[in-house]
Amino acid sequence: MASIKLEDPLLADTGNLPFVVEPEHSNALTFLTDLLDPLQRQTWSPLLPLPILGTLHAIKVTLDYRARIRRASGPRPPLLQGLFTVLTMALGGSTTSAFLMGIPPSWLSSNVALPTYALVYLAMFRAPGDIVFRTLDAIDPFIRPILLVADGLTRAHSQAGFAIESVRAMPVLKNSIIAQLLCGTLAGCGGGILADAFNLASHDWHFRTPTALKSEHYDLRVSFFTALTYALTTPYASDQLSAAGRILFTLYPEIEQQNMWLTLDPTEAKCLAGLLFATAQMWKLYSPMLLSDSGKKAHTQGGDKHRHHHGGSQPPKGAGASGDKPDTTLPTDEHEPSTATSTAVADQGGRGDGEDQSDHESVRKRGKNKSRKE
């Protein structure tokens, strides 16, 4: 790819050459970009001209909406109410960003965006016998990683391809990194915030404080870092943000040919942002299971070490007489009575306690006989 010249206003007055940035390429990232980027425009077939990623994203959003309804234990919403909720969850972020920038949202100029979400919603809510939802819900654990990758790529495309690039294309906002991060973040998670703010999962909507404003919100943080990744790794950002590089270039002109900023091709940066978003979503889903399994293994290993350390120790004499019970959290060895044995003895009329009492009485009698002889 040819070099991308970025005119630096700080260097224009000094008569120096413009700062030249050559986008860097990674073989692995280039391979993933060549594999995933065509999916943004790929359709199922000429007879079904719906985007593949858009359909998968619509399936994920609608499944999440059905899960919210199930948790709320409410009735199934009317047709238009449920459709509006799904569209808000899916397209509310880009719509909010477009509203802030004063431009039409990207889905408004598309002839397939709204029909895709509407058809998926109708199939999952109005199919005979609810067969579509039942089938997808049954195979959800197997297709969830695919849905998360599609969701990450779709959100990253909305953040980078629409929000951030639209900000850079506007003369009034192109120098504002705040506008890029704000619009990019909202494009990635604004739909979920709107659905939470108006409680769209319930049958009767009402406004409330969004969870994202009351506590740490996972999707909000992921969207912010995804937007930040794209904003800092694309050619325009290097000219806009590399103040340190400009200062060094002014002081030391010999570093002109050195790339002072990690710069990726915009398509590769968009793919990287999508993979980061998808990875974060999969970590949120699978990390509790992974961490719980590792915690159980650590607890088991610690218990094995404890048993190995105390396995040869003998219980103190008279432990049964003093009423001490064996530790039921650890397996008993051959020197200690098992829990089942203790229970059987107790069922036989308290035989163990009677033997202990007879031993005490014999000791007392022997002491009395000795005192009489003396």
The per-residue pLDDT for range 155-206, each reduced to its tens digit, is: 999 999 899 999 999 999 888 889 999 999 999 999 999 999 999 988 889 9
Contacts of 265 (CB under 8 A, 6+ apart): 1, 23, 25, 33
Give, for 133, the enclosing helix (H) or strand (E): helix 131-138
The full set of domain ranges for the chain reads 24-289, 339-373
Q: Which residue has the tokens 């009423």?
A: 323
Average pLDDT of the chain to the nearest whole number: 75
* Segment 125-146 mean pLDDT: 94
Q: Is 209 exposed, middle or buried (0-12, 13-18, 19+ CB in 10 A)?
A: exposed
* 10-19, 87-96, 248-257, 284-293, range with the lowest pLDDT: 10-19
- The predicted pLDDT at position 18 comes to 38
pLDDT band at 302 (very low <50, low <70, confident <90, very high): low
- Percent of the chain past pLDDT 70, that is, above it, reads 63
β-bridge mates for residue 254, sequence order: none
Distances (CA, A) of 185 to 19, 159, 192, 213: 29, 7, 12, 14
Secondary structure E strands in the chain: 4-6, 19-21, 43-45, 48-51
pLDDT tens, position by position, 263-286: 778 888 888 899 999 999 999 988
- The predicted pLDDT at position 325 comes to 43
* 17-21, 34-38, 95-99, range with the lowest pLDDT: 17-21
pTM of the complete model beyond 0.85: no
Statement: residue 340 has pLDDT above 90: no
- Cα atoms in the Cβ-side hemisphere of radius 13 Å centred on 123: 14
* Dist CA 8 CA 240 (whole Å): 8
pLDDT band at 317 (very low <50, low <70, confident <90, very high): very low
296 or 274, which is more confident:
274
- The predicted pLDDT at position 4 comes to 38
- The predicted pLDDT at position 175 comes to 82
pLDDT band at 216 (very low <50, low <70, confident <90, very high): confident
